[in-house]
Structure 1
Amino acid sequence: MVHPKKWYKLHTQFTLILNFRKNKYSNRTIKRKYHILFWAGYFLFNVIRWGSYFDDYWYSLKSNLIEFPLHIFIVYANLYFFIPKYLIQKKYKRYITSLFISLSFLYTARTALNYFLVTKNIWPESEGYQEAFTFNHIIAVTLGELYVLALATAIKLTVDWVNQRNRIENLKKEHLKSELNFLKTQIQPHFFFNTLNNLYALTLEKSDLASTVVLKLSDIMQYVIYDVKEPKVKLLKEIEYIQNYLDLELLRCNKNSTVDLNIKGNIANAKVPPLIFLSYIENCFKHGNKNNNDFYIYISFEITQENNLIFSLKNSFEPSLNQKKKRGIGNTNTKRRLDLIFKKNYKLDISQENNLHSVNLEIPLTKKQ
């Protein structure tokens, strides 16, 4: 049988791999329409720019029609072949050699096509008549191509960086969601184990309260199975759930035991993470002497003007019982959930003084970013 923690790690890793592969292939390249818009805009810009420079828009159109297919060829060869196969693999010599050969081919093709199809003056922007394959002409054409390469590569790398950052953020959210779900599944069996023990004790006593316990347990199971799937639930539902739990636990306590639950403020629209208060309330019964006449629990939910929720809990307890009870996962689990959900935007204070145990938790009802 696989240990729960190992199962959680395997499940999380499998989920993240599937999501990563999905995001990888869905965002692998820039959409085709943006490629078309880029080259169409760049082509139009060049035609107008050089047409204005030479005062000859027909010449500018013809020369750009010759040159742009070559621009596109070397840009995509660089982006989708040379960089992934050589540069990223740290094969720098092969990358430089491939780029040099491509630029040499492009210069030869561009010069020849312009000479035979557009104009015999292959470098009209220079002073005087210039011949092809001279050092200055080669440098001028090569620098122009490198400019196009640099522009297209910068755009592609920027888009890839943004997509990669978004993928990482999505993976973090998926990991957070998976961990929160796992922590909630740890709480549910822990609670049902205790409740079924209570029910078993009542059936042994043949108590008439067993039917009441079954009904309350049914309500609790409906809440836990269906409602806690959401990241947040209505505070009113959470309090109803807590009240059912208290009713079940009090059946096993001394008749003089008291529970005081107070609500301050308008909780109608307030929402909180589910099962976030239960472990602290469970500890009241776990570490308190339920057979004593002075056993009591005080619970308070207060909504402040800053739209924060203050959960206060006080109960009598027996320090000697803490030495006998096994340490459970409840408080550690809840603390981890609070860290994941609210990060540092919450306050938690747990203290013990004499025979009084206190918990004060303040959380924002509107999550701070």
Structure 2
Amino acid sequence: MEKHWLFRFRLYHLPFWVMYHYAWWVVSYGDPLRAANTILFTPYAVEFAFYVVFQAVAVYFNLYYLIPTFLQKGRYQAYIGYLSLTLIATTLCIVGGYYLIPTPSDLCFFGFVGKALPSTIASTTLAMSIKLARHWMKTRERQQLLEKEKLETELQFLRNQFNPHFLFNSINSIFFLIHKNPDVASASLAKFSELLRHQLYECNDNHIPLDKEINFLANFIELEKLRQNKRTHIQVSFTDKPVSHLSIAPFILMTFIENAFKHVSGNEDHWINIYLELEEDKLVFTVSNSTADKESGQYSGIGLQNVKRRLDLLYPNEYSLDIQERTDSFTVRLQLTSFAGSAVKPLQLAI
């Protein structure tokens, strides 16, 4: 059962209210020492205590009862009515304290109300502002957490959707080799086991070392070479610069290479060119391949849609993807750019 609002009051809040009202007395007297002496060693200590206690009660009654019961449920008229009554009742209680101490003869009941009511409204407004600010910050934090979890879930879904697609094509390649050349199929199985090891154990994070991703691409290309006929010309150039200190999202580059090999199968003369270079703070990856005139819409499949979505999620505004479709060739050029201070860096230090 939820505790009553009175039990939510924390004693360690009391120093805050003492200092809050003391600050007002300092402003009124213009001297911190005189204000402290008045509060502690004169009958005005009763007046000060009335302000502290009754305004604190009014504030917590508003925060923990009126707001949850009326304001948060959309009962605005009832909330304004009860809040007004609370302010009036608190003011009257504070005014009662004035009659317990000696006061100047020129002050009367309405003069006391003129001092107590604005102070009560100010303290209540301050407390509501702090409460609403904390509530807004917590709500924003929850929204950011939910958005992060949503993005992570979506990324995981995209990876799970992509991996079976890759496995299916690789198994098809090995199946083709078993019937064509069993000895070559044995070598391809060894390459395939290395690909599986990378996929299952080395790429479970959002980013992996770039050198491991390059090795994975090289193994896949070697596997594809085994099943390609001699009329397919394959040219591969990976950067010779040190890359072990850099990382990249797994399977981003793989999609483009896989699509290139998928569309050069057959008995015709075909070619594939693959280049990966580091240019200052950018990774430049280019894949181009020949196609028959009858082929079109090569890059409209699930694989490319997934990789575009992953690029949007992992590298927002930090990549450029250019796809050029011609009658006899396709060219994909991907640039990943590293910016200092970005939320997710395209190329970042591997941890």
| 1:64 corresponds to | 48
Distance 2:62 2:190 in 1: 70
Distance 1:321 1:284 in 2: 12
Please state whether the residue corresponding to 2:80 is helix, strand or coil: helix
Spell out the pairing of 1:192-203 with structure 2 (5 A cutoff). 192-203=167-178
Distance 1:33 1:301 in 2: 64
Whether the aligned pair in 1 keeps the contact of 2:207 and 2:249 (CA below 8 Å) is yes
- Residues 335-344 or 264-273, more deviating: 264-273
Are 1:173 and 2:155 an aligned pair?
A: no
Spell out the pairing of 1:203-282 with structure 2 (5 A cutoff). 203-205=178-180, 207-264=182-239, 265-282=241-258
Structure 1 residues 31, 356: CA separation in 2 closer, same or farther (over 3 Å shift)? Answer: farther
Distance 2:315 2:264 in 1: 30
| 1:363 corresponds to | 336
Structure 2 counterpart of 1:81, from 53, 58, 65? 65
Distance 1:357 1:62 in 2: 87
> Cα RMSD over matched residues?
2.8
Structure 2 counterpart of 1:130, from 107, 119, 126? 107
Whether the aligned pair in 1 keeps the contact of 2:289 and 2:329 (CA below 8 Å) is yes
Distance 2:158 2:85 in 1: 58
Deviation at 1:114, TM superposition (A): 4.7
Structure 1 residues 108, 352: CA separation in 2 closer, same or farther (over 3 Å shift)? Answer: closer
Structure 1 residues 259, 89: CA separation in 2 closer, same or farther (over 3 Å shift)? Answer: same
One-letter amino acid of the counterpart of residue 130, structure 1:
L
Distance 1:336 1:46 in 2: 57
Structure 1 residues 283, 228: CA separation in 2 closer, same or farther (over 3 Å shift)? Answer: same
Distance 1:61 1:329 in 2: 76
Are 1:347 and 2:320 an aligned pair?
A: yes
| 1:308 corresponds to | 282
Whether the aligned pair in 1 keeps the contact of 2:275 and 2:287 (CA below 8 Å) is yes
TM-score, length-normalised on structure 1?
Answer: 0.79
One-letter amino acid of the counterpart of residue 276, structure 1:
I
TM-score, length-normalised on structure 2?
Answer: 0.83
Deviation at 1:104, TM superposition (A): 3.0
Structure 1 residues 140, 47: CA separation in 2 closer, same or farther (over 3 Å shift)? Answer: closer
Deviation at 1:334, TM superposition (A): 0.9
Whether the aligned pair in 1 keeps the contact of 2:318 and 2:338 (CA below 8 Å) is no
Deviation at 1:89, TM superposition (A): 2.8
Whether the aligned pair in 1 keeps the contact of 2:50 and 2:93 (CA below 8 Å) is no
Superposed CA deviations along residues 188-236 of structure 1, whole A, max 9, x for unmatched, are 0000011112222333446022332222222111211222221111121
Spell out the pairing of 1:20-59 with structure 2 (5 A cutoff). 35=13, 38-46=16-24, 48-49=26-27, 52=31, 56-57=38-39, 58-59=41-42
Please state whether the residue corresponding to 2:288 is helix, strand or coil: strand
Please state whether the residue corresponding to 1:99 is helix, strand or coil: helix
Are 1:184 and 2:159 an aligned pair?
A: yes
Tell me the matched-pair count: 328
Please state whether the residue corresponding to 1:297 is helix, strand or coil: strand
Structure 2 counterpart of 1:94, from 62, 78, 93? 78
Whether the aligned pair in 1 keeps the contact of 2:274 and 2:288 (CA below 8 Å) is yes
Q: Kindly, what percent of the aligned residue pairs are identical?
A: 29
Structure 2 counterpart of 1:336, from 304, 309, 317? 309
Please state whether the residue corresponding to 2:294 is helix, strand or coil: helix
| 1:108 corresponds to | 92
Whether the aligned pair in 2 keeps the contact of 1:288 and 1:321 (CA below 8 Å) is no
Structure 1 residues 360, 63: CA separation in 2 closer, same or farther (over 3 Å shift)? Answer: same
Please state whether the residue corresponding to 1:310 is helix, strand or coil: strand
Deviation at 1:101, TM superposition (A): 2.3
Deviation at 1:137, TM superposition (A): 2.8
Superposed CA deviations along residues 158-208 of structure 1, whole A, max 9, x for unmatched, are 222222222222222222221111111111000001111222233344602
